Amino acid sequence: MGSEMKRVMAGGSGRLLVLVAATAVACACLGLAKGQEQGPVSELCLGCICEAVSNCNRSLGCNGDVCGLFRITWAYWADAGKPVIAQDNPDADGAYVRCVTEPFCAASTVQGYMRRFGKDCNGDGTVNCFDYAAIHRLGGYGCTGALEYNYQNKFMNCQRQVQQLAGGK
C-alpha cells in the first residue's frame, strides 16, 4: 500500500491528499497494533472511524466524557478489557486517559470492543466496517439505530475514497 500512496500523492489531487493523510494515520495505528494483539477491524476501517469521529486528530485530549482521536468513554474502554500503554496498570489512576489519548492504545481499545461486540448491525449478512462504525458510535447494543448525519457522511466519504484507491490498483 505504501507505494500506492506515493503514486497517489505524486498525482497531486487535493481530494485524495486528505485520504492519504487519513490512511497514513490509520496505517500508523495498525503498525503499532501489529506488534501487539490483532483485532477484527482493518487499519483502513480504523482510519475511517477516526476520520468520522475526530478527523483523526491525534492531539485531542478529553472533552466531557470522551477522550482521544477515537473519542472513547471510560465505559467503552472498560468494555474493551481496559487495555493500557506499556508499563501501565489498568487499575491505576489515569490508565484510561493515558491509553485512549495514545493512538496505538486507542486503536487496541477499538479492537477489544469490536472483538466483544462485533456483529451484523445492518443485517446485510456480513460483519464489516459499516457495522464497526455503527457500533463505535451507538454501542454494542444500540447499533441498529440511526447515525447522526455528520458522522455517517464523513464515514461514507472516507469509505468511498478507500474503495476507489483499492479499485484503482
Ligand X SMILES: *[C@@H]1O[C@H](CO)[C@@H](O)[C@H](O)[C@H]1NC(C)=O
- Say whether residue 150 binds ligand X (CB under 6 A): no
State the cell numbers at 78.
472498560
57 binding ligand X? (CB under 6 A) = yes
Nearer to ligand X among residue 36 and residue 54 (C-beta): 54
Closest residue to ligand X, judged by C-beta, is 57
Q: Which of 52/135 has CB closer to ligand X? A: 52
50 in Cβ contact with 133 (< 8 Å): no
Q: Where does residue 82 fall: left (phi above 0), alpha (psi -120 to 50 degrees), or beta otherwise?
A: left
Q: Tell me if 108 sits within 8 A of 33, measured CB to CB.
A: yes
Q: How many chain residues bind ligand X (CB under 6 A)?
A: 4
Q: How far apart are CA 109 and CA 83, in angstroms?
A: 6
89 lies in the binding site for ligand X (CB under 6 A): no
Query: What letter does residue 109 receive in the DSSP assignment?
Result: H
Among 3, 10, 12, 59, binds ligand X (CB under 6 A): 59
User: Which stretch, 55-63, 70-78, 107-115, 117-125, contacts ligand X (CB under 6 A)?
Assistant: 55-63
Amino acid at 64: G
- For ligand X, the closer CB: 42 or 55: 55
Residue of 26, 30, 53, 60 interacting with ligand X (CB under 6 A): 60
Q: What is the dihedral of CA 126, 78, 86, 91, to 10 degrees?
A: -160
Which positions touch ligand X (CB under 6 A)?
Answer: 55, 57, 59-60
